[in-house]
Amino acid sequence: MSTYVVGDIQGCYKPLRQLLKFVKFSPAKDSLWCVGDLINRGPHSLDTLRYLQDLGDAVKIVLGNHDLHFIAINEGRAPARNKDTLEGLLRAPDCQALSDWLRQQPLAHYDSVDTRHGLKNFLMIHAGVAPMWSLQDTLNYAAEVEFALQGPKYRKFLRAMYGDLPARWHNGLHGMERLRVITNYLTRIRFCNAIGTMRLNVKEGLWAAPRGFKPWYYYERITPRASILFGHWAALEGRTDRNDVHALDTGYVWGRELTLMCLEDMQRYYISK
């Protein structure tokens, strides 16, 4: 039995299946964890979602910003963007069922894996966390967004989740502003400062850090209680220079690689564009 985690798929269904075939992935005995951004920008979002849904209990997913964006478009709460490649999915007869299935997925997944060095804890999120959040904080705040997304007023949340402000977390936040900040940390953050102020408009690599800002994982305080798995930041090219924070988005949709990592031995497998 093996546990694999895959970087941002973004509708690149065929390379995903090729990677899983290479490692002899079996849904009957193995698990596949997905760091979010399952769809959009790539050519086969519909096939990707159908396949992952069919895996049932063998797959563990956290939502990324592209996944939330699709749900919002499908529910009429946001317009499609020029770079979106969601037309086939949005026209599919099972689009609503797939959207509803995605809406039930979490924004953070925490579990233990029996590795070759013993039992090890992993936290999987799409983008990052706020500097002041503990592991339990992260799970609790993710649950707040999940409750909003799965509840009867989810369309109100989908419309309100867009935007860069407030730019940082503080305990006095409430309502949609609170949910938006949590969502931005978990699905959009790259750079922040020591008090958690986010710079969401900077998407490049470490060289582009604004003055006074660093990658969010410079400030996190979840490790060593749990190793962190994340995607979203393709410009890192899979490197964080940390052995307890693992970047999985290696930019296949941008012409580079799709990464699959086995959590039992931390071996990485790649397929190139």
CATH code of 232's domain: 3.60.21.10
Q: Of all helices (H) and strands (E), which one includes residue 110?
A: strand 108-115
What per-residue confidence (pLDDT) applies to 145?
Answer: 98
Predicted model pTM: 0.97
Helices (H), 151-213: 154-160, 175-187
Residue 14 CA, distance from chain mean position: 20
Task: Look at residue 116 and tell me whether its pLDDT is greater than 90.
Answer: no
Domain membership of residue 21 (yes or no) is yes
**Model confidence over 148-197: pLDDT tens digits?**
999 999 999 999 999 999 999 999 999 999 999 999 999 999 999 999 99
pLDDT at position 34: 98
Report how many domains make up the chain. Answer: 1
Say if 75 falls within a structural domain.
Answer: yes
With bands split at pLDDT 50, 70 and 90, how would you rate the model's confidence at 118? confident
Q: What is the pLDDT of residues 31-68, one digit of tens each?
A: 999 999 999 999 999 999 999 999 999 999 999 999 99
Of residues 115 and 268, the one with the higher pLDDT is 268
Domain that holds residue 81: 3-141+220-272
Structure tokens at 256: 């580079």
133-149 average pLDDT score: 98
Q: Do the bridges between strand 268-272 and strand 245-247 make them parallel or antiparallel, or are there none, so unpaired?
A: unpaired
Mean pLDDT of 113-122: 90
What is the structure's pLDDT at 117?
Answer: 78
92 is a domain residue = yes
Domain assignment present for 201: no
Q: Do 59 and 102 meet the contact criterion of CB atoms below 8 Å apart? A: no
Domain contains 166 = no
Confidence (pLDDT) at 269 = 98
**In this structure, is residue 156 part of a structural domain?**
no
User: What mean pLDDT comes out for the span 237-251?
Assistant: 97
pLDDT at 133 > cutoff 90: yes
Per residue in 196-231, pLDDT tens? 999 999 999 999 999 999 999 999 999 999 999 999
Amino acid 245: pLDDT: 98
Q: How confident is the prediction for the chain on average, in pLDDT?
A: 97
Which pLDDT score, from 0 to 100, does residue 115 have?
85
pLDDT for the residue 141: 98
> Is residue 11 a contact partner of residue 43, using CB atoms and an 8 Å limit?
yes
Check residue 32 and give its pLDDT. 98
* Residue at 212 is within a domain: no
The answer to whether residue 208 sits within a structural domain is no
Task: Compute the distance between CA of residue 247 and CA of residue 230 in angstroms, rounded to an integer.
Answer: 5
